[in-house]
């Protein structure tokens, strides 16, 4: 079934329980058919909060001088955490950080990726951990180096596809055009590409969000990570406020379901920001068609330094506590976790077959 813009807007605006019940049923049934019912873990390591960008919404933006400590984890801390993750049976990790483009940083990330790839190979994971990177806008050459080092997925949120809203959220030197170009470069280099938006940004409309979903579809995106926009007291937009929590949660859940229905066979994350709104936010996201979640593995000592928005959960939990807590949460909603698997979305494989046929 294909959905028009009007259909998508209608889904996003649902608030009545009978509409929502139908939306959930349709999204879950399609999810079961297209990607299965398993939930895949991506252990996330936020390895540095040093950032050259100044996105107005973000707590770790360059000009937030109130952020007391800027950190970068040591190489062995990152590698050990990744290996712990492999040992626990999480098939994939995400290495995420603020944006830096200097050669020392890129070489550092390249060699960390290569070491993790090499050392995480085992009987359980013959191809090693699946490695996803989220380190912002880089040159095509850098993307190529990181891909060759062993990363095979990349997350770069578009944040919003509305040009005027994008301009309002970012300084002049950070452009929507460049971000779109980066998404193209990533795909060309061979990465599975993930993107997403923030939901409920001041000034954002349902029409814009519907266009965002069409953008994901038209760009042939493989993975989606999106979550509610939540103010940060030291962000530059705190005075503009945010949506009321209940309505924001519902809109975010409706976005997940609508994205599932329109894109069908991609991986969709139930993001941590949902849990910042309500304690069972991530499980609710799974109930609207998400099939990926990201246990936080960032070492406790630096975790407070990576607060992009207010009320981020799990700041005191160790990796073990977070993983087992999540497992119980996932099982409580009748789902199970796909351990020791990369969990690539079927979308990627279909795309590969197409490319193969073409060649
Ligand atoms: N609220 C919600 N999400 C945010 N991000 C950054 N700041 C906020 C905020 N205040 C998200 C952005 C970015 C991702 C790493 O975190 O979408 O891409
Ligand atoms: Fe992190 Fe529960 S999900 S402690």
User: Residue 323: its pLDDT value, please?
Assistant: 79
Q: Ligand 2: which residue has its CA nearest to atom 1?
A: 322
Check if 58 has its Cβ closer than 6 Å to any atom of ligand 1. yes
| φ/ψ (deg, to 5) at 144 | -65, -45
Residues within 6 Å of ligand 2 by CB: 314, 317, 321-322, 325-326
How many whole angstroms from 293 Cα to the centroid of ligand 2?
A: 11
- Pull the structure tokens for residue 14: 């649902």
How many whole angstroms from 242 Cα to the centroid of ligand 2?
A: 24
| pLDDT for 354 beyond 80 | no
How many whole angstroms from 230 Cα to the centroid of ligand 1?
A: 8
Ligand nearest to the CA of 137: 1
User: Per residue in 47-77, pLDDT tens?
Assistant: 999 999 999 999 999 999 998 799 999 999 9
How many whole angstroms from 273 Cα to the centroid of ligand 1?
A: 8
Q: Ligand 1: which residue has its CA nearest to atom 13?
A: 157
Which among 293, 313, 318 is the best mutation to test ligand 2's pocket, defined by most ligand atoms within 8 Å of the CB?
313
Out of 10-24, 287-301, 304-318, least confident range = 304-318
User: Residue 358: its pLDDT value, please?
Assistant: 39
Of all atoms in ligand 1, which is nearest to the CA of residue 309?
Answer: 10
Reduced 3-state DSSP string for 103-162: HHHHHHHHHHHHHHHHHCCCCCCCCCCEEEEECCCCCHHHHHHHHHHCCCEEECCCECCC
User: Residue 337: its pLDDT value, please?
Assistant: 93
User: Residue 324: its pLDDT value, please?
Assistant: 82
Residues of the chain with pLDDT > 90, as a percent, come to 85
Ligand nearest to the CA of 297: 2
| pLDDT for 359 beyond 50 | no
| pLDDT for 357 beyond 50 | no
Instruction: Write the class of the CATH domain 5-358.
Output: alpha beta
Check if 232 has its Cβ closer than 6 Å to any atom of ligand 1. yes
Check if 154 has its Cβ closer than 6 Å to any atom of ligand 1. no
Residue spans of the domains in the chain: they are 5-358
Of all atoms in ligand 1, which is nearest to the CA of residue 310?
Answer: 10
Of all atoms in ligand 2, which is nearest to the CA of residue 321?
Answer: 4
How many whole angstroms from 308 Cα to the centroid of ligand 1?
A: 6
**Rounded Cα–Cα distance for residues 31 and 290 (Å):** 8
User: Per residue in 156-197, pLDDT tens?
Assistant: 999 999 999 999 999 999 999 999 999 999 999 999 999 999
User: Per residue in 89-107, pLDDT tens?
Assistant: 999 999 999 999 999 999 9
Mean pLDDT to the nearest integer, 140-145: 98
**Rounded Cα–Cα distance for residues 23 and 28 (Å):** 9
How many whole angstroms from 349 Cα to the centroid of ligand 1?
A: 29
Ligand nearest to the CA of 226: 1
What rounded mean pLDDT belongs to the chain? 94
Mean pLDDT to the nearest integer, 197-216: 98
How many whole angstroms from 238 Cα to the centroid of ligand 1?
A: 13
**Rounded Cα–Cα distance for residues 226 and 120 (Å):** 29
How many whole angstroms from 335 Cα to the centroid of ligand 1?
A: 27
Q: Ligand 1: which residue has its CA nearest to atom 10?
A: 309
Confidence band of 356 (pLDDT split at 50, 70, 90):
low
Radius of gyration of the chain (CA): 19
Q: Which one, of 253, 210, 263, lies nearest residue 30 by Cα? A: 263
Q: Which residues contact 284 (CB under 8 A, 6 or more apart)?
A: 249, 253, 270, 274, 278
User: Residue 335: its pLDDT value, please?
Assistant: 95
Out of 31-45, 223-237, 238-252, 311-325, least confident range = 311-325
């Amino acid at each position: 079934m294909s959905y028009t813009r009007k259909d998508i807007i209608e889904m996003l605006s649902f608030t009545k329980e009978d509409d929502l019940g139908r939306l959930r049923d349709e999204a879950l049934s399609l999810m079961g058919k297209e990607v299965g019912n398993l939930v895949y873990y991506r252990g996330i390591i936020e390895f540095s909060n040093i950032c050259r960008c100044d996105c107005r919404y973000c707590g770790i933006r360059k000009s937030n001088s109130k952020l007391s400590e800027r950190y970068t984890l040591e190489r062995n801390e990152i590698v050990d955490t990744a290996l712990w993750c492999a040992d626990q049976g999480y098939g994939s990790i995400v290495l995420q950080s603020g944006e830096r483009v200097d050669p020392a940083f890129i070489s550092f990330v390249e060699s960390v990726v290569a070491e993790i790839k090499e050392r995480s190979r085992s009987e359980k994971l013959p191809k090693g951990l699946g490695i996803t990177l989220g380190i912002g806008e880089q040159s095509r050459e850098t993307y190529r180096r990181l891909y060759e080092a062993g990363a095979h997925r990349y997350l770069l949120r578009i944040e919003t596809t509305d040009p005027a809203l994008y301009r309002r959220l970012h300084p002049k030197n950070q452009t929507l055009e460049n971000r779109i170009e980066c998404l193209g470069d990533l795909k060309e280099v061979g990465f599975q590409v993930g993107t997403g938006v923030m939901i409920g940004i001041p000034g954002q409309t349902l029409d814009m969000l519907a266009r965002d979903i069409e953008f994901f579809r038209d760009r042939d995106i493989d993975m989606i990570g999106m979550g509610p926009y939540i103010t940060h007291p030291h962000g530059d937009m705190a005075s503009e406020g945010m949506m009321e929590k209940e309505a924001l949660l519902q809109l975010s859940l409706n976005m997940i379901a609508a994205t599932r229905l329109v894109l069908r066979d991609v991986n969709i994350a139930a993001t941590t920001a949902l849990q910042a709104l309500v304690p069972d936010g991530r499980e609710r996201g799974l109930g609207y068609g998400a099939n990926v979640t990201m246990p936080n593995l960032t070492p406790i000592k630096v975790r407070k330094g990576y607060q992009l928005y207010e009320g981020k959960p799990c700041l005191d939990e160790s990796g073990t506590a977070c993983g087992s807590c999540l497992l119980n949460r996932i099982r409580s909603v009748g789902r199970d976790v796909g351990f020791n698997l990369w969990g690539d979305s079927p979308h990627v494989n279909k795309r590969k077959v197409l490319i193969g046929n073409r060649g």
